[in-house]
Amino acid sequence: MILQIEKTNHIKASKDAEIAPNPIDIVLAEDSIGDQCLTEIALKKTNIPHYLTTYRNGDLLLPALVEQREQNKKLLPDLLLLDIGLPGRNGIDILAELAQSSPSIRSIPIVILTNYSDLEYICSKQNNLFIVSYLRKPCDPAILKIIMENIRRYKFPN
């Protein structure tokens, strides 16, 4: 079995070396390498510092989140970008499992990535999750930037 997890850092250097940026921690659950690349490009175009961890298989995502929560609640991601068409556990299955998870995991903001048109209806059944948006792939950098700015304002209020 190949462990399909990648971690990349996208932090822009600050002009003032003493002022460190406040990156947000993003998890991308996406099996398509092409869509991963397009999403990474969109994230970079936001010019918002972030860490990105990518899972290419739905079976790996939930156990990783549970392990992070058990180790330290602060290790949970600030944003989950979730593709619905993942191999293994698909996005709908993951949403159902997240809905049964701990309150800290259920509070992770989720953006659904999809090529489907009726997804909003399907995901509306998951009313106890924090689904902040539904984005058609490829992701629009302007919309991602708005979402990321809101998360940064919440995480770093000053």
Q: What CATH number is associated with residue 144?
A: 3.40.50.2300
Q: Is residue 27 part of a domain?
A: no
Decide: helix, strand or coil at residue 50: strand
Q: Is residue 20 part of a domain?
A: no
Q: Is residue 28 part of a domain?
A: no
* Strand bridging mode 79-83 / 24-29: parallel
Q: Is residue 18 part of a domain?
A: no
pLDDT of residue 26: 93
Q: Is residue 19 part of a domain?
A: no
Give the number of domains in the chain: 1
Q: Is residue 143 part of a domain?
A: yes
Per-residue pLDDT tens listing for the chain (158 residues): 333 444 444 443 333 333 447 888 999 999 999 999 999 999 999 988 899 999 988 888 888 888 877 776 567 899 999 998 888 888 888 888 888 888 888 888 999 888 776 666 566 655 556 777 878 888 888 998 998 988 888 887 76
How is residue 146 written in tokens? 């708005």
pLDDT of residue 81: 94
Q: What is the four-CA torsion angle of 46, 9, 11, 143, rounded to 10 degrees?
A: 10
Residue 151 is part of which domain span?
39-155
**Which residues fall within 8 angstroms of residue 84, CB to CB, at 6 or more apart?**
90, 91, 92, 112, 113, 114, 116, 119
pTM given for the model: 0.81
Q: Is residue 8 part of a domain?
A: no
Q: Is residue 148 part of a domain?
A: yes
